């Protein structure tokens, strides 16, 4: 999952400076459990349901206390709230009737946690597992420390929802991908966490299988939270979160076929398929820029003048008219966007082609419904600016323009960078902090 704020991800931010942004595969908990089962890691029996009737049937099959978990790409579900009944995204039920009632108040409703958007995420799947009698919760994770160029094991005896307030109890042990879990690691954990010899046999097997999964599946993060010790002395993985580098997709086709995306990630995914780099931000000024450096400079300049960007959208050096049309479509469908800045420095991308895409977008949308500031510099910039200024299409890409004059009045051409950024901020309503 990429929506959670896990301890391992916090570790990565502080100890592993990110050199390049990568999109990572996100898995729901039900998929994560299947992956753990594949590598013989202990998980309780679980069932995925999409209706209250199915939830009732599953709990009758379990024939005992059960736990119903909302399946969303966000952590903190146990402390979250549904907009239906104000209860959390993780619920204990004692009977099939109780399961039906709770599922009816979860499916189709929005769950808000500390890691979701303010309006929450709509829940359309529930994962139901047999309730486990818990004696103690642990936190086990594997990730990478890029500063040390080494994988690292993160372990705490204070797992579950308490882990974020117990960072000081986190043990950090580096290991090698060629050596795996060594006797030294086992000895350290037994001494620090007080496992008995018989418990240490189970812990060692869990660590070995974690390492096997981590290595064979090209994981960047494997987090078991909580790994619990039951009242019967068994160890069971109740929840798991994963991170996988997108570069591993060609080696792991079955794994990436299970990908789930949050609604706000759909735009990023569609644009990535067209070769565009898109990152959703929290403001209301949409940007279409070519080049990551120019995109960052544009975002910084808009912020300097008091605006807030809704996105980071880099069309790159190989943008096509199709890709640009898709970029316009994404911004048009984003209700947050109240102004758009198109800032292109032409090199491989010709400014007249960008201008043609702008004109096509104006024609298709019947004019722009929000202010649009266009800055074109570089290859064919004069031709591009002329096309945009006159809203006239030349060559073979002729598209009839039947737009309202008011829609064209929203289009502003400005060749100077700082002035263009200032203009779009002035033309766009301010976002309240």
Residue 150's pLDDT band, with cuts at 50, 70 and 90, is: confident
What stretch(es) of the chain map to CATH 3.40.50.261? 263-391+402-427
Can you tell me the distance from the alpha carbon of 378 to that of 15, in angstroms, rounded to the nearest whole number?
Answer: 40
Which listed CATH number (1.10.10.10, 3.40.50.261, 2.40.50.140, 3.10.20.30) goes with 263-391+402-427?
Answer: 3.40.50.261
What stretch(es) of the chain map to CATH 3.30.470.20? 134-257
Residue 349's pLDDT band, with cuts at 50, 70 and 90, is: confident
pLDDT of residue 382: 85
pTM for this prediction: 0.60
Statement: residue 3 has pLDDT above 60: no
> Tell me, which fold does domain 134-257 have in CATH?
D-amino Acid Aminotransferase; Chain A, domain 1 (3.30.470)
List the one residue out of 71, 73, 72 whose CA is nearest residue 46: 71
Determine whether 250 is an active site residue. Answer: no
Q: Which of 98, 223, 267, 414 is catalytic?
A: 223
Strands 277-280, 339-346: pairing kind: unpaired
Can you tell me the distance from the alpha carbon of 331 to that of 289, in angstroms, rounded to the nearest whole number?
Answer: 13
Statement: residue 188 has pLDDT above 80: yes
| Percent of the chain surpassing pLDDT 70 | 82
Average of per-residue pLDDT across 399-422: 67
Q: Are 215 and 153 in contact (CB under 8 A)?
A: no
Q: What is the CATH number of domain 45-130?
A: 3.30.1490.20
Can you tell me the distance from the alpha carbon of 33 to that of 38, in angstroms, rounded to the nearest whole number?
Answer: 9
pLDDT of residue 402: 40
How many other C-beta atoms are found inside a 10 Å radius of the C-beta of residue 223?
A: 27
Buried residues in 298-322 as b, exposed as e (16+ CB within 10 A): bbebbeeeebbbbbbbbbbeebeee
Q: Are 279 and 242 in contact (CB under 8 A)?
A: no
Statement: residue 10 has pLDDT above 60: no
Q: Which of 127, 139, 278, 345 is catalytic?
A: 139
Q: Are 119 and 74 in contact (CB under 8 A)?
A: no
No. of helices (H) and no. of strands (E), the chain: 14, 19
Q: Which of 175-184, 394-403, 424-433 has the lowest mean pLDDT?
A: 394-403
What stretch(es) of the chain map to CATH 3.30.1490.20? 45-130
Determine whether 139 is an active site residue. Answer: yes
């Amino acid at each position: 999952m990429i929506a959670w704020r896990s301890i391992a991800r916090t570790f990565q931010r502080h100890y592993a400076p990110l050199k390049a942004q990568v999109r990572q595969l996100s898995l729901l908990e039900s998929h994560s459990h299947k992956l753990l089962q594949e590598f013989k890691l202990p998980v309780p029996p679980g069932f995925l349901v999409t209706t209250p009737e199915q939830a009732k049937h599953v709990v009758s099959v379990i024939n005992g206390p059960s736990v119903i978990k909302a399946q969303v790409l966000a952590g903190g579900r146990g402390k979250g709230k549904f907009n239906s009944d104000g209860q959390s995204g993780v619920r204990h039920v004692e009977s099939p009737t109780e399961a039906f009632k709770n599922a009816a108040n979860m499916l189709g409703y929005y769950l808000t946690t500390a890691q979701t958007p303010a309006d929450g995420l709509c829940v359309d799947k529930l994962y139901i597992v047999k309730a486990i009698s818990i004696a103690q919760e642990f936190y086990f994770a594997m990730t990478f420390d890029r500063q040390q160029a080494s994988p690292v094991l993160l372990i705490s005896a204070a797992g579950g929802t308490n882990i974020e307030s117990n960072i000081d109890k986190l043990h950090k042990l580096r290991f090698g991908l060629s050596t795996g879990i060594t006797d030294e690691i086992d000895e350290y954990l037994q001494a620090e966490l007080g496992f008995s010899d018989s418990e240490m046999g189970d812990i060692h097997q869990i660590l070995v299988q974690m390492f096997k999964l981590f290595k064979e599946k090209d994981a960047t993060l494997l987090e078991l939270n909580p790994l619990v010790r039951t009242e019967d002395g068994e160890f069971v993985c109740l929840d798991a979160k994963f991170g996988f580098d997108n570069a591993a997709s060609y080696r792991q086709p079955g794994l990436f076929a299970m990908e789930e995306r949050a609604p706000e990630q759909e735009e990023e995914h569609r644009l990535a398929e067209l070769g565009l780099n898109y990152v959703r931000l929290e403001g209301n000024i949409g940007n279409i820029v070519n080049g990551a450096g120019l995109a960052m400079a544009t975002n910084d300049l808009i912020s300097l003048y008091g605006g807030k960007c809704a996105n980071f959208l880099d069309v790159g050096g190989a943008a096509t008219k199709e890709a640009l049309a898709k970029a316009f479509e994404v911004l048009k469908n984003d209700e947050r966007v109240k102004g758009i800045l198109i800032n292109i420095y032409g090199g491989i991308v010709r400014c007249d082609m960008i201008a043609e895409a702008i004109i096509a977008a104006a024609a298709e949308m019947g004019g722009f419904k929000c202010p649009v500031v266009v800055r074109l510099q570089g290859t064919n910039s004069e031709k591009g600016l002329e096309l945009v200024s006159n809203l006239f299409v030349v060559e073979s890409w002729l598209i009839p323009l039947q737009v309202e004059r008011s829609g064209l009045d929203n289009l502003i051409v400005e060749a100077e960078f700082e002035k263009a950024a200032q203009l779009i901020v002035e033309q766009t309503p301010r976002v309240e902090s």
